[in-house]
Structure formats: C-alpha cells, structure tokens
Amino acid sequence: MKKIIQKLFSKEKRKGGIKGKKVLILLIIILAVLAGVVAASSFKKSKEASAEAKSVRTAIVTKQDIVSELSSSGTISPQNTYDITSLVEGEVIAADFEEGDEVEKGQILYQIDTSSMESEMTSVNNSLSRAQENYQTALDDYNSALGDYSGNTYKSTESGYIKSLSIKEGDKVGNNTEIASIYDDKTMKIKLPFLSGEAAQIAAGQAAVLTLTDTGEQIQGSVTSVSNMDVTLTGGRIVRYVTIEVTNPGGLTTDTPATAAIGDYVCSAEATFEPKLESTMKADLSSNVEVGTLLVHEGDYVAKGTPLFTMESKSADKLLRTYKDTMEKAQETLEGAKSKLESTENTYDNYTITAPISGKVITKTVKAGDKITKSSSGSTTLAVIYDMSGYTFKMSVDELDVKSVKVGQEVNITADAVPGKTFSGTVTNVSLESSTSNGVTNYPVTITLNDGMDELLPGMNVDGVIILDKAADVLAVPADALMRGNQVYVKDDSMKEPQGNIPAGFRAVEVTTGLINDDYVEITSGLEENQEVYVAQTTVGTSMNVMLPGGMGGINVGPGGSGSGSGVRYRSEGGGSGSGNRSAGSGGGSGSGVRQP
C-alpha cells in the first residue's frame, strides 16, 4: 500500500500545481476509510470469538420423575381366531348359522351325513363284544388253572374209586392222556321199562319206590331221566326206559335185580343196578407235563379236586404260562378293540363340527347341501371365528432392547383411527422365535389390551410404548451432561483454565447413575440438588432447557430425526455415556444421540 501511494504521489508531483495536491488528499481519505473498515472487521471477529468462547451450556440438578420407554407399532388381532375345517368327507346336511352371528363354544355349526359310518360302528361294537367274552373266558381259565395246579399238582376231575391207574412216575402227560378208570357205587342207577303211554306221564324228579327182587326190600329213589325212544319188548309191548337213581345202602351191586313203581305206574320188567359213574378219567391240559410223584393208588376214593400226582416244576411253570399267555393275548385283543371303538367314535364325532371358541363368525364359505371331498377335507376353511372379547398386537423389538422387556410391564397404546385417546395394555409374552433382517435380530413381543375393545377393531394399526422402568422424585441431569467415565462437569469458578476437555469454570465429578432415558439421567450419588452442571453440544435429541451465562436461558436443541423400529436409551461404547437409538424392523420409534466433548 505504501509503495502504491509513493508511486502516485511521485507521478502527481511531476505534473505539478494545485491539481496534484487535490489528488493526493483524495487518496489519503480513501486509504483512511479502508483502514477503518479492516480494523472494524477485525474487532468484530475478535469479539465474536470471545463471546463464543464464553458461551457454555449448563443445567441445574433437579428432582423429577424419569420414565424409561420403548416404542414400536403393530396391528390389532383378536385374542383368539379359529379356522373351521373338516376332518371327514361327506354332504353337509345342516349349517344353521350365518356370518356375523355370535356363537358359543360347543355350539353345533355343521352336521355332515354319517350314513357311511353306521356299518363300521356296528362292526367295531361287535368286535368289542367278542373280545370281551374271549378275555373273560381266558381270565376264568387262568384263575382256574391257578387253583387246579396249585402246589404243582394235578387234581381229579371226578369223584369215585380208582379202579385202575394208567400213568406212572416220570411219564409225560398231555391233553386227553388217560389217567385212571373211575367208578362210583355210592349212588347206583337203574334203567327200567315202562309202557310208552305211562312213561310219557312221568317226569324227572318224581319219587320212585324200588323193590329188590331177591329180598323184597324197598328203597326210595328219584327219576333222573325219561327216554323219548319207544322200544318193543317180547310179546309186543312198547316201552320207554326210565332212569332212577338211589343211594346205595351198602348191599347193591351190579348183579342186584329190582323193579320200580312210580305213582300208579309199575315197570314192565326188572333190571339190574349199575354204578352212577364208571368212566375213564383223561387229562385236561394245555401243555405236556412230567409226572413227579403219584399221590393216589388203585382202590383209593377220590373227590373232585383231590391231588393225583405232582408235576415237575419246569413243566408246571410252562403249563401255567400257557394259560397266562392266552389271557394276555385276549387282553391285548380287547384293548385293541376298545382303541378301535374309540377311534371310530372320534371319527364319528367329527361328522358333527362344533365351535371351538366363543366369538363372532367372520366368514362362512360352506353351506348346507355342499359336499366335502377328500381333496378339500382338512384344507378348506369352512368358516372363521374371532374371539372379540380381547385384543392383542405384536411389537417387533430388536436384540439390544428385548432383555429389558418383561411380562407384566405396562404399555400405552394409541391409534390413528381413534385420535386423542390412549389405551392401556400389558406385555403378556416375550417370544424367543426371532427373525433377522439386514443383520438385525428382532423378537416378537405380545401386548394384550386392557380396554378399547368397543372402539378398536381387528386390523387397525396402533403404536405401543412399553414402560420399561420408572423412578419418582430423583436427582437428574440432562443426558448430555453425562460424560465419558461417568463424569459430570460441575460449575467451579476457581477453575480459571480449561483442563483438557473440561471447560474453564468447571471441575469433573464422578457420579453413580440409575435410570436413563432419552432426555435425562438419574444420579444416585455424586451430585446435590441445585448444582449447576455443564451440558455438551447436542447433535441429535429432544428439546432440552439449558442455561447460558448470565442466567437461565431458553435454548432449544433442535429435534432429532426419527427412525423405524423400537428405541431405548443405552450407554454408548468408548465415547462416555450417552443415548442411542437402534432402528430395526417395522414400526415407528425415535431416539436421541449424544456427542461427547
């Protein structure tokens, strides 16, 4: 500048005169103005820099309520829904309900023709009856065998004298093996001929008087049977034989002749007595046994149940096992028949379709007269029922937030369809069935509404805010007052110079924090009410009142951006304390971020 002025001055001097002096004065004035402008600009910048250096945001430590929240959105669903389908095929013969009807649980909705099931029901019932009879027979046989073969002995099936034995020790005895010849003369019987016409008038049980031919002694007897067959005796007499039994007084033998009179009728000829029993006893066994020891001898009198011989233990066990196996197989067959009946009855019941829940019929796609085929049974929805007594919706919560959500937490719910009103709800389920999208894992959280059923409808979109935690009347500072390392910068006029990141006029204090939300941090120790603390520059956040030098100021930190998904405050890593909002999934949620100095 100086060189320019000298050059101009030298030039004007050469020109000479008053004109040169005027130009010089003009140049000096211009230079003076320029210098003033430069000085003023420099002074203004210096003043602004000084003011900026002194402009520090602060806040007062106060007591207040803090609420930690998490928000997301969802779509309302009925508490329960049910698609009615059929498990059987056939013609629908009744469907006495319509769309919009309120139905009760158990109410009959559809009746399907059961004619194809009638014969099957009859068959399985008959099978069950046979199985029950066979099982009862096998059970009775097993119980009888336990008694008959107790003590590993084979017992007599007849009463009488052993005329001869057909077995010896060590023999193998199986079914129908001859054991002994048995006769019983304690009771004798005699068959006498009566004229056919008279015999027809005689009945079993009638009393008879027998006269012994050799001694004339009379014995009382009883008619046991009357033959229906006519027989011709010598002389052309047509007779029928009548059998009479008497108790042997001790002298009757097979050689003793006698006659008999029954009422007014007298036999046509005499006859001789014979023992009531004279037969061969045969074994009745389901498997072979080995004779151990004979317990009777020829000439012994045995009654039914008298042990005849012992059986070797192995063969006795095998014998009882056969009866038990038969019983168990019969039991299995019976259980199978019962199961078959139950299954058939269940199938039969499927021809009557009832409402599984109480609610409103939303859709009805099948009516009386329609036919359900194999291709449509089980897959075609016949009707849809909504349980409108309660509503739920699901919030999608990401992996960072889901551990804070617990069953029983309160939820505030709003809906665009019902403006200006808030409904209440409760967290009723936190599912572990997660889904991942764009690297973020989300978990469905079920919310059950406590009210609003008369104003809201299924399908409406709602926003939910879960109350994660509450703290009432606690010391708190703005979230941006919390620095890294859990420090808060407290006002201290004795600190004249900045200390690293700590501005002049403040000192660092270690604090213990409690509940944190998007705006405030609970301080449980380290600060006192009414202390003034430093508040860092906010880049993203909600409105916050801070103080400027000279008194309480009204600075509003600009509103932050909104993101989709759920948001909740968490401490930022490596950058001190702060808040962050992770956007994930669907639904609206907002969060704030803190920039640390």
Write the pLDDT tens digit of every residue in 153-182.
Answer: 999 998 889 999 999 999 999 999 999 999
Measured between alpha carbons, how far is 446 from 224 in angstroms, rounded to an integer? Answer: 88
Q: What's the whole-number mean pLDDT along residues 372-393?
A: 86
Residue 380's pLDDT is what?
Answer: 85
**Between residues 44 and 586, the one the model is more confident about:** 44
Residue 379's pLDDT is what?
Answer: 77
pTM over 0.75? The answer is: no
Q: What's the whole-number mean pLDDT along residues 507-522?
A: 90
Measured between alpha carbons, how far is 288 from 319 in angstroms, rounded to an integer? Answer: 7
Compute CA 396 distance to the chain's CA centroid, rounded to the nearest angstrom. Answer: 25
Measured between alpha carbons, how far is 114 from 144 in angstroms, rounded to an integer? Answer: 45
Measured between alpha carbons, how far is 270 from 259 in angstroms, rounded to an integer? Answer: 5
Within 10 angstroms of residue 93's Cβ, the number of other Cβ atoms is 14
**Between residues 57 and 25, the one the model is more confident about:** 57
- Residue that has been written with the tokens 């210096």 in this structure: 46
Q: Among 318, 309, 300, 319, which Cα is nearest to 170's?
A: 309
Structure tokens, 161:
């004298």
Q: What's the whole-number mean pLDDT along residues 186-191?
A: 94
Measured between alpha carbons, how far is 133 from 546 in angstroms, rounded to an integer? Answer: 94
Question: Per-domain residue ranges for the chain?
Answer: 154-312, 409-534
Residue 57 reports pLDDT greater than 80: yes
Residue 56's pLDDT is what?
Answer: 82
Residue 560's pLDDT is what?
Answer: 33
With cut-offs at 50, 70 and 90, classify the pLDDT of residue 537: confident
Bridge partners for 66 per DSSP = 471
Residue 112 reports pLDDT greater than 60: yes
Measured between alpha carbons, how far is 72 from 462 in angstroms, rounded to an integer? Answer: 9
Residue 36's pLDDT is what?
Answer: 57
Q: What is the mean pLDDT of the chain?
A: 83
Bridge partners for 533 per DSSP = 59, 490
DSSP-assigned letter for residue 143: H
